[in-house]
């Protein structure tokens, strides 16, 4: 059979293995760095209709395979495989040290892996040294991972004889005739695979933490010990990752939020809900004002819907059937109401408020809408995962012929905003999930429109199969912060279904009623989450235009107190966010406190500045700028605030 490997055509006998094909096409370091192979039987791997499957190198090449794509150890897929295989190695080590421990599941996760164990006592970090030492022995032995297939009944008996009751339960729940097993050395585990060729491919690893986890996520089941770890192809990559974690701890928005007095939480009275302190609320207000102004400039109308609406509305929208586990409900005068988890149903009612003409289209409605979602307490995480949050949410009602242009307009908006904050980003198209509403035709039209818009503007994208909203496919924009971590904030969703359910219509040029298409989109996403991301991205040192306090006035002695207050008042009148420190403390102490508070500018006033009617400028970073008049400093602040907007080709007016 003739097969292409990275553009090179090779001929192989039937029954050849992937490792045979790769040896024929590759050599040297490239060959040694391959850990698996993807076999393509349709279009390019990753495309919407791809038939691309990953295989072990020792697997026989399927007869319908037309192209093989090597999976390299340093690729994202390769790192995922390293971690998946390392989880088996960790389970093996635990079983060697603690033979009565039962193994359950051990998947690769973002940046690492975990394995859940049932043992007579919870594991602790004191166990890590011994487990790591045993893992090193297994890795040094460089034993191969070997796949085998076993009839379901035989697999049940195998694991029952081993005393692995959790594996037995998993297998019995599978609707299959046979299952795949992987063995390295004496250790055997239930697994779909694929795996790296041998244990020696795990270059570096580290056990990170341990936590409790209920079996299958249910509080009714037994509590297990979950050991988290990470693995990389090389020690250098592991060390870089560990250094990044340490930097992330310093940037943790929960820590900085407390230190900078931005926000707080009171889990005893309002778990998952934020108490905004004055500085944080000012930061949030600046961000929201920016969002409102930008939306108005781009043709959006600002609206606001109610917080609580009858359950009947949510049944029409499909949220009740597809989302109610995330919703809060209440009763008013014996009728059931829901606290809104999303803004879209209210916007559809507002669209139907009067008859629309095709000339009125598109209609763009924007709302900074407060929503509530029932999140489990275990997943709440500072500003990043809350139960009450505000979306910079918008819904665009347009004619089908306007759809791609509207998607492109939103993408341009997203690009401008993310570049303003210094974020790079990448794009995914998330397709139809199993739990969804609407016809196949509607989903195909919506998905084609998203992909068509991205291809028109030359925007690279990948497919995230099955992760769309229940009412439509979406573009997910994932930004990368200063530590190169990914965050999903912006989204564009195309919906042909809800306008149908709410009987939305406009009068066409032919005088007939026509159904609009609805685009759901968020720019920053959750305001709370975005501020959390920004806080960590900037390490709390917000750019001047966003800083809650732009300048702190510091006096040398009490003699300058009256002038310092006058300067503060003048700066505020000139649009500079300023505060004054009149405490009877040494200047050095005041300067250090202002630096810790990450104030962009410190304005020092001594007798000389008092006499000359000036202020001495000390930036947060860098050398003193010397003395200058108050008005000159205010003009400098305004000019500096405009710099990031000018770099992005945006115009903006500060109020």
93 and 237 share a domain?
yes
Establish if 417 belongs to a structural domain. Answer: yes
Same domain, 326 and 397: yes
CB neighbour list of residue 228: distance below 8 Å, 6 or more residues apart? 112, 113, 114, 207, 208, 209, 210, 211
For position 9, what pLDDT does the model report?
87
Which strands form 146-151's sheet, in the order they lie side by side?
Answer: 146-151, 178-184, 187-190
Tokens 């933490």 belong to: 209
Q: Which two tokens mark 488?
A: 């999903």
Question: Which pLDDT score, from 0 to 100, does residue 52 have?
Answer: 63
Which sign does the torsion angle of CA 621, 535, 300, 448 carry?
positive
* Cα separations in angstroms, 210 against 135, 243, 280: 17, 20, 33
Q: What is the pLDDT of residue 48?
A: 38
Confidence (pLDDT) at 638: 95
Q: Is residue 257 part of a domain?
A: no
Q: Is 545 part of a structural domain of the chain?
A: no
As a whole number of angstroms, the distance between CA 476 and CA 522 comes to 10
Q: Return the structure tokens found at 183.
A: 């063995």
Beta-bridge mates of residue 37: 55, 70
- Token readout for 569 is 């008042």
- Could you tell me how far CA 599 lies from the centroid of its own chain? 29
| Residue 393, C-beta contacts closer than 8 angstroms, at least 6 positions apart | 342, 343, 344, 366, 367, 368, 369, 520, 521, 522
Q: Is residue 654 part of a domain?
A: no
| pLDDT on residue 132 | 97
Report the chain (655 residues): mean pLDDT per 10 consecutive residues.
83 88 88 89 44 84 87 93 96 97 93 95 96 97 96 96 95 94 96 94 96 89 95 95 93 96 95 96 96 96 96 93 92 95 95 95 97 90 95 96 96 95 94 90 94 96 91 93 90 93 96 96 95 96 97 96 97 97 94 95 96 95 90 96 90 78
If one counts the domains in the chain, the total is 4
556 lies in the same domain as 597: yes
DSSP label at residue 99: T
CATH of the domain at 576: 3.40.50.800
Distance of CA 643 to the CA centre of its chain: 28
**Residue-level pLDDT at 5:** 86
Cβ atoms of 548 and 261 closer than 8 Å: no
Residue 653: inside a domain, yes or no? Answer: no
| Residue 302 contacts residue 343 (beta carbons within 8 Å) | no
Q: Are residues 211 and 285 in the same domain?
A: no
**pLDDT tens profile 486-539:** 999 999 999 999 999 999 999 999 999 999 999 999 999 999 999 999 999 999
332 and 469 co-located in one domain = yes
Co-location of 63 and 87 in the same domain: no
The CATH number for 532's domain is 3.30.930.10
Buried b (16+ CB within 10 A) or exposed e, 456-488: eeeeebebbeeebbbbbbbbbbbbebeeebebe
Neighbouring residues of 643: CB distance < 8 A, sequence distance ≥ 6: none
Which residue is it, tokens 């997943």?
Answer: 379
- Same structural domain, 67 and 81: no
DSSP 235-284: HHHHHHHHHHHHHHHHH-HHHHHHHTT-EEE-HHHHTT-EEE-HHHHHHH
Query: What is 160-210 written as a DSSP string?
Result: HHTT-HHHHHHHHH---SEEEEEEETTEEEE------SBGGG--EEEEEEE
Say what the pLDDT of residue 44 is: 41
Helices and strands (DSSP H and E) totals, the chain? 21, 34
Q: Does 569 reside within a domain?
A: yes
Enter the tokens of residue 341: 């988890």
**DSSP assignment, residue 433?**
-
Listed residues 72, 99, 126: the one ending a domain: 72
Give the DSSP per-residue string, 552-621: EEEESSGGGHHHHHHHHHHHHHTT--EEEE--SS-HHHHHHHHHHTT-SEEEEE-HHHHHHT-EEEEESS
Distance (Å, rounded) from C-alpha 327 to C-alpha 348?
Answer: 19
Is residue 271 domain-shared with residue 206, that is, in the same domain? no
Same domain, residue pair 102 and 237 = yes
Give the pLDDT confidence of 117-166 residue by residue, as tens digits. 999 999 999 999 999 999 999 999 999 999 999 999 999 999 999 999 99
**335 shares a domain with 313:** yes
Query: Residue 252: inside a domain, yes or no?
Result: no
Same domain, 464 and 598: no
Task: For residue 330, count CB atoms less than 10 angstroms from its CB and return exposed for 0-12, middle for 13-18, buried for 19 or more.
Answer: exposed
Domain boundary among 186, 212, 246: 246
End position of a domain, from candidates 479, 511, 537: 537
Let me know how long the chain is: 655
Q: What's residue 47's pLDDT?
A: 39
- Asked if residue 78 lies in contact with residue 57, where contact means CB atoms within 8 angstroms, the answer is no
**Residues catalogued as catalytic:** 344, 373, 391, 393, 395, 474, 520
**In 3-state terms, what secondary structure has residue 253?**
helix
Note whether residue 345 is domain-resident.
Answer: yes
In this structure, the answer to whether residues 49 and 150 fall within a common structural domain is no
Q: Which domain holds residue 464?
A: 263-537
CA distance 375 to 381: 10
């Amino acid at each position: 059979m003739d097969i292409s490997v990275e553009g090179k055509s090779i001929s192989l006998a039937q029954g050849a293995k992937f490792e045979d094909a790769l040896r024929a096409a590759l050599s040297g370091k490239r060959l040694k760095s391959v850990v698996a192979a993807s076999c393509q039987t349709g279009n390019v791997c990753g495309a919407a209709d791809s038939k691309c499957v990953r295989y072990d190198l020792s697997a026989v090449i399927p007869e319908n395979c037309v192209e093989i794509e090597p999976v390299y150890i340093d690729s994202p897929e390769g790192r995922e495989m390293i971690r998946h295989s390392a989880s088996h190695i960790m389970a093996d080590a635990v079983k060697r040290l603690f033979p009565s421990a039962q193994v359950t599941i051990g998947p690769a996760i973002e940046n690492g892996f975990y394995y859940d164990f049932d043992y007579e006592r919870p594991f602790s970090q004191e166990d890590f040294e011994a487990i790591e030492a045993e893992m090193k022995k297994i890795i040094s032995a460089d034993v191969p991972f070997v796949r085998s297939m076993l009839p379901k009944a035989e697999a049940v008996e195998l694991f029952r004889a081993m005393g692995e009751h959790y594996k037995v339960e998993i297998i019995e729940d599978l609707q299959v005739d046979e299952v795949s097993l992987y063995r390295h050395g004496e250790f055997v585990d239930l697994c779909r695979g694929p795996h790296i060729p041998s244990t020696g491919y795990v270059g570096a690893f580290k056990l990170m933490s341990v936590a409790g986890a209920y079996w299958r996520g249910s509080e009714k089941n037994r509590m297990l010990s979950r050991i988290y770890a990470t693995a990389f192809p090389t020690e250098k990559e592991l060390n870089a990752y560990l250094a990044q974690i340490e930097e992330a701890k310093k940037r943790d928005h929960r820590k900085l939020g407390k230190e900078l007095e931005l926000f707080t939480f009171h889990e005893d009275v309002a778990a998952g809900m934020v108490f905004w302190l004055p500085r944080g609320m000012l930061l949030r207000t600046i961000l929201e004002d920016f969002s409102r102004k930008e939306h108005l400039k781009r043709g959006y109308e600002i609206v606001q819907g109610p917080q609580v609406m009858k359950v009947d509305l949510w049944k029409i929208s499909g949220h009740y059937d597809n989302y109610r586990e995330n919703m809060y409900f209440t009763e008013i005068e014996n009728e059931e109401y829901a606290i809104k988890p999303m803004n879209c149903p209210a916007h559809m009612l507002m669209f139907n408020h009067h008859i629309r003409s095709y000339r009125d289209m598109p209609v763009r409605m924007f709302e900074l809408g407060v929503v509530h979602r029932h999140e489990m307490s275990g997943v709440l995480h500072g500003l990043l995962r809350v139960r009450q949050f505000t979306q910079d949410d918008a819904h665009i009602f347009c004619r089908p012929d306007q759809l791609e242009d509207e998607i492109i307009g939103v993408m341009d908006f997203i690009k401008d905003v993310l570049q303003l904050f210094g974020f790079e980003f990448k794009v995914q198209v998330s397709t139809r999930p199993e739990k969804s509403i609407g016809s196949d035709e509607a989903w195909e039209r919506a998905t084609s429109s998203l992909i068509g818009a991205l291809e028109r503007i030359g925007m690279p994208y990948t497919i995230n199969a099955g992760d769309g909203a229940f009412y439509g496919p979406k573009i997910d924009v994932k930004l990368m912060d200063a530590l190169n971590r990914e965050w999903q904030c912006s989204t564009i969703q195309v919906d042909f279904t809800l306008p149908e359910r709410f009987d939305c219509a406009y009068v066409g040029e032919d005088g007939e009623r026509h159904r609009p298409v609805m685009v759901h989109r968020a720019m920053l996403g959750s305001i709370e989450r975005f501020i959390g991301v920004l806080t960590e991205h900037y390490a709390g040192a917000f750019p001047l235009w966003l800083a809650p306090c732009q300048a702190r006035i510091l006096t040398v002695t009490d003699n300058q107190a009256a002038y310092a207050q006058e300067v503060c008042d003048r700066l505020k009148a000139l649009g500079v966010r300023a505060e004054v420190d009149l405490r009877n403390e040494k200047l050095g102490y005041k300067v250090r406190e202002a630096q810790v508070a990450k104030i962009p500018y410190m304005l020092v006033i001594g007798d000389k500045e008092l006499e000359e009617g000036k202020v001495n400028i000390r930036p947060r970073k860098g050398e003193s700028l010397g003395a200058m008049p108050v008005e000159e400093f205010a003009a400098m602040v305004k000019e500096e605030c405009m710099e990031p907007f000018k770099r992005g080709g945006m115009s903006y007016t500060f109020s």
